[in-house]
């Protein structure tokens, strides 16, 4: 409709120009009734066009500019740390596959469960059983008469890396046993590193003159034999000199 009115105005303008040209040739200087009518029509059309333009402008919605927020980088939220208890996994819990563990959104770290640590044979083999002799009575080469009974005391310290289990025994290794038992229970409960145990063994001097030594070590209920020294293969011992006390007495003036 707006285009149609523009065309009409153009037509009227052209028509008015033609009439003006014709009016200039006439003798009368006053405008004719036709010119006045044409002018009135043109004014009416112009007023109508102005109102139409105003109505069109009023009918159009005002344009609004939406301000978008600045682009922000998406920071991934912190992934929860998957805590797995030490020991065998719960049989009721499904075990995640490798695909489940790797199918994570880009930019996020995958929470990896800590490995389950279980004792191995190597760990047991690395256990060092060691003995340190901290104290003893009856010094080496103490002279004792034939058949003389005596009690030897040893204070032993656990200087290894693991406990001596309950049931650990003293075991005769070599030399002269001198009336003692070959296996003697040492511990009724575990002895941990840096702890001490004191043991007393009853001996009897042989009925023959000479020097006698009795060598001992420890043995666990599982059969692991250990003793003193850096490699745990050393023995601890008692050494005496047996003599005939009656003969010595006779020779005394």
Which architecture, in CATH terms, is 131-250? Answer: Sandwich (2.60)
Residues with Cβ within 8 Å of 114's Cβ and at least 6 positions away in sequence, in order, are 83, 84
Distance set, CA 78 to CA 82, 100, 101, 107, 140 (Å): 12, 18, 16, 11, 71
Mean pLDDT of 103-113: 41
Q: Which residue has the higher pLDDT, 12 or 192?
A: 192
pLDDT at 183 over 90: yes
Q: Which of 90-94, 168-172, 208-212, 233-237 has the lowest mean pLDDT?
A: 90-94
Q: Which residue has the higher pLDDT, 141 or 117?
A: 141
Name residue 212's beta-bridge partners: 240
Rg over alpha carbons for the chain, rounded to the nearest Å, is 59
Task: Indicate left, alpha or beta for 194 from its phi (over 0: left) and psi (-120 to 50: alpha).
Answer: left
The encoded tokens of residue 244 equal 């005939």
Mean pLDDT of 82-101: 41
pTM tops 0.75 = no
DSSP string covering 49-96: HHHHHHHHHHHSPPP----PPPP-PPPPPPPPPPP--SSSPPTTSPPP
Q: Which of 96-110, 117-131, 234-248 has the lowest mean pLDDT?
A: 96-110
Q: Which of 69-73, 159-163, 184-188, 211-215 has the lowest mean pLDDT?
A: 69-73
């Amino acid at each position: 409709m707006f285009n149609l009115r523009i065309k009409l105005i153009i037509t009227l303008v052209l028509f008015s120009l033609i009439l003006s040209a014709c009016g200039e040739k006439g003798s009368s200087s006053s405008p004719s009734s036709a010119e006045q009518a044409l002018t009135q029509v043109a004014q009416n059309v112009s007023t109508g066009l102005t109102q139409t333009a105003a109505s069109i402008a009023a009918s159009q919605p005002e344009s609004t500019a939406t301000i978008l927020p600045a682009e922000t980088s998406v920071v991934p939220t912190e992934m929860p740390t998957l805590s797995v208890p030490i020991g065998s996994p719960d049989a009721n819990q499904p075990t995640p596959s490798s695909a489940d563990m790797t199918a994570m959104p880009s930019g996020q770290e995958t929470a990896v469960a800590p490995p389950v640590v279980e004792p191995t044979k190597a760990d047991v083999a690395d256990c060092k059983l060691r003995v340190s002799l901290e104290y003893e009575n009856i010094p080496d080469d103490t002279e004792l008469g034939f058949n003389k009974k005596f009690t030897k005391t040893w204070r032993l310290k656990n200087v290894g890396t693991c406990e001596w289990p309950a049931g650990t025994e003293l075991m005769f290794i070599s030399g002269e046993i001198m009336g003692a038992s070959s296996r003697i229970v040492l511990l009724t409960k575990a002895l941990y590193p840096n702890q001490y145990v004191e043991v007393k063994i009853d001996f009897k001097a042989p009925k023959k003159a000479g020097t006698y030594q009795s060598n001992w070590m420890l043995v666990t209920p599982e059969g692991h034999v250990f003793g003193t020294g850096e490699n745990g293969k050393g023995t601890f011992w008692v050494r005496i000199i047996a003599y005939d006390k009656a003969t010595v007495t006779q020779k005394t003036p």
